[in-house]
Amino acid sequence: MLTTMRHLLLFISCVCLSPVKPALGSLPAPPSAPKKNVLFLVADDAGFEMGSYRKKVVQTPNLDALAKKSLIFNNLFASVSSCSPSRASILSGLPTHQNGMYGLHQSVHHFNSFDGIRSLPNLLRDHNIYSGIIGKKHVGPSEVYKFDYEATEETHSIMQVGRNITKMKLLVRDFLEKKPAEPFFLYVGFHDPHRCGHTHPEYGAFCQFFGNGETGMGHIPDWHPITYDPTQVEVPHFVQDSLSARRDIAAQYTTISRLDQGVGLVLKELENAGELNNTLVIYTSDNGIPFAGGRTNLYDSGIRLPMLMSSPFHTERHYQATYAMSSHLDLVPTVLDWFSVPYPTIDISQNQLLQPLTGKSLLPLLIKEPTDNGEAIFASHNHHEVTMYYPMRAVRTKHFKLIHNINYRMPFPIDQDLYISRSFQDILNCTREKKPIHWSKTLKTYYYRPEWEFFDLRKDAEELRNVAGKPAYKETMEDLKSKLLKWQEITKDPWICSPNGVFENSGTFKDNPACLPLDNLDF
Ligand SMILES: *[C@@H]1O[C@H](CO)[C@@H](O)[C@H](O)[C@H]1NC(C)=O
Ligand SMILES: *[C@@H]1O[C@H](CO)[C@@H](O)[C@H](O)[C@H]1NC(C)=O
Ligand SMILES: *[C@@H]1O[C@H](CO)[C@@H](O)[C@H](O)[C@H]1NC(C)=O
């Protein structure tokens, strides 16, 4: 521990310069391309349930068609596995502990990013790029995330702007009609396939009945509902194989098919407006699927996500897969690179040097797979709901994953939405009744985690065998620990000394910030 403290002191006292690798060169726009827009499609709690990620049962013809014109990401990671924190990190390029959005934004949770944070729409506005958001926003404060055109849950019903794909189509049409001639950045936030049992149980566990034309469900004219047989769905490795979980997955598939048809409608609007051939289209999700092991976890099941990136100007790698380690934190640099807009270096309001972003533009991947596989991605998590404090930090390379469960003596928290689901109730019931769960974990191992979890993904892609402390892995683990610590330092992580020290950085410690020991070990 002492050594760690010394390392920490060392890191903190050095004046570290920007870790940002220079973007690998902006891509020159072909002369025939007068305008270059960005359409950013974000699904809510969606995983890899689509044909182009080799799922055979769920029907996603529109996403699959988009995949044929896209680079398909196989190593894309969220920087946090929770809705508002993830969306804030996507839009600011900064991890949750750096942008201040520590947890959910709505109602009692009330988390917000810091007032001085620069977000994509604001950065783009300074360069006359018109921005719009349709659907789920879930970040604040409004001045920090201010889009020129907004039709979100703040002004509409989330069911209408997030799940009614006809309404969403009409809003996209309205945006395209109203936008000035300049380039645009349009963010479409689908609320599908988020769970629904907690807020609108009348529409089913995933709102799979909403708008299906049955009595009391209303009608979504453009939606052709697809229903799935629970016995036929593909159960992810981290979900228990039980009928309750399968029924949830079948309902989730129905709303994924609605999302898929919504994506088709939005792309059609873009085409009708004559903008399809000059727009970068990105599809991703905010975090992993809402099952135990998924959302709110830093296991791959919580942060590894689908991403499609389709550029009409870069067809070289259409329908190819990239394995380059990529992060949601790379999206701000990517969009800025696309528009040739620099990230500011000075915060004018505070007359301070701005912390540079740690992400990198992903546009070079559209042309060529890099040969260097040594990259690491990082993740951090503090809250989901306000009551769900469970700080974690993680680093992942192609072959290894290290998770630091900072307050590891606490039980891992469960959110309201997951708790009442039949998937989780099934786990609870079986545990209480001492019946087999058909799960790779037990409730006890799920709740109580060791401080350090280290996985050799070459042999253990499902992250089930913790090899932290095993002599054979000592060196690799130490290497990743120091990478993680360095990233925490660069991103000004207030949790950098937790759980065994207190971070002091003002007063007498102003010029020599330090982790002071708490002597809380060995009790
Ligand atoms: C969906 O939106 C359309 C267009 O606004 C509307 O006609 C329809 O009733 C809506 N459906 C539901 C289920 O609210
Ligand atoms: C867009 O580009 C594709 C491929 O270059 C071409 O086949 C198609 O006709 C173009 N569509 C429009 C609307 O310009
Ligand atoms: C769990 O047990 C309760 C009480 O017996 C029962 O009402 C409920 O249906 C069960 N749920 C599941 C998903 O098994």
pLDDT at residue 127 in the model: 94
Say if ligand 2 is within 6 A of residue 320 CB: no
pLDDT at residue 352 in the model: 72
Say if ligand 2 is within 6 A of residue 277 CB: yes
Question: Using CA positions, which residue lies closest to atom 7 of ligand 2?
Answer: 277
pLDDT at residue 351 in the model: 66
Find the ligand nearest to 158 CA.
1
pLDDT at residue 523 in the model: 82
Could you tell me the distance, in angstroms and rounded to a whole number, from the CA of residue 422 to the centre of ligand 3? Answer: 8
Rounded average pLDDT per 10-residue block, the chain, 523 residues: 39 36 45 73 98 97 98 98 98 97 97 95 96 98 98 98 98 97 94 96 98 98 98 98 98 98 98 96 98 98 98 96 97 97 79 82 96 88 98 98 98 98 98 98 98 98 98 98 97 97 96 95 83
Mutation test residue for ligand 3: of 239, 246, 425, 427, the one with most atoms within 8 Å of CB: 425
User: Which stretches does DSSP call E strand in 330-419?
Assistant: 346-347, 352-353, 377-381, 392-396, 400-405
pLDDT at residue 19 in the model: 36
Place of tokens 């999700």: 285
DSSP sequence for 183-249: -EEEEEE--TT---TTT-GGG-TTSTTTTBSSTTT-B-TT-------GGGS---TTS--SHHHHHHH
Say if ligand 1 is within 6 A of residue 174 CB: no
Could you tell me the distance, in angstroms and rounded to a whole number, from the CA of residue 173 to the centre of ligand 1? Answer: 15
Could you tell me the distance, in angstroms and rounded to a whole number, from the CA of residue 434 to the centre of ligand 1? Answer: 46
Cβ-based neighbours of 59, under 8 Å, separated by 6 or more: 51, 226, 253, 257, 260
pLDDT at residue 354 in the model: 75
Find the ligand nearest to 205 CA.
3
Contact of 480 with 462, CB cutoff 8 Å: no
2-13 helix and 474-490 helix, angle to the nearest 10 degrees:
40
